[in-house]
Amino acid sequence: MTIEILPVSDKAMLRRFIRVPSEVHKHDAAWITPLMMEREEAFSPKDNEFLRRAEVRFWIARRDGRDVGRISAQIDPLAQRTDAERIGHFGCLSAESCSRRDGIRGNLDGSGKAGESGSSSVGWEVA
């Protein structure tokens, strides 16, 4: 059960990235799939000023030929405190639970509660 991490490199991969939460939460009766058109606009540099100015990367996690998670990383030049320090953020997190016992799907913290976080503020160093 190896997990493969795929960088999003084109429009087709971005569409897959956008659809990952719907795949992850498809068995959750409370999940309501967002409007695809709205999500595509949110992830379009043409429509989203943040994506035009920030350094942003997206990845998809695959296991056994299925998309099972996604994550983004971004560095916003407007959020930097000094030229020497670059602070980044992770976001767009959606993934199957690490524990698949009892068929429970959820978030990465293992709580078993299905959900997607907006963004988590985590600093990292960039060389």
116: domain CATH number is 3.40.630
Residue 104 lies in a domain: yes
Tell me whether residue 127 is in a domain: no
The DSSP call for residue 73 is E
pLDDT digits (tens, 9 = 90+) for 13-69: 999 999 999 999 999 999 999 999 999 999 999 999 999 999 999 999 999 999 999
Let me know if residue 37 belongs to a domain.
Answer: yes
C-alpha distance from residue 27 to each of 6, 32, 64, 86, 105 (Å): 24, 11, 18, 39, 8
Quickly tell me which residue has 């429009």 as its tokens: 11
Give the whole-number percent of the chain exceeding pLDDT 90.
61
Q: Please give the residue range of the domain that contains residue 90.
A: 3-121
Question: For the stretch 45-68, what's the b/e string if a residue is b when 16 or more beta carbons lie within 10 angstroms of its beta carbon?
Answer: eeeeeeeeebebebbbbbeeeebb
Q: Decide if 18 is inside a domain.
A: yes
126 belongs to a structural domain: no
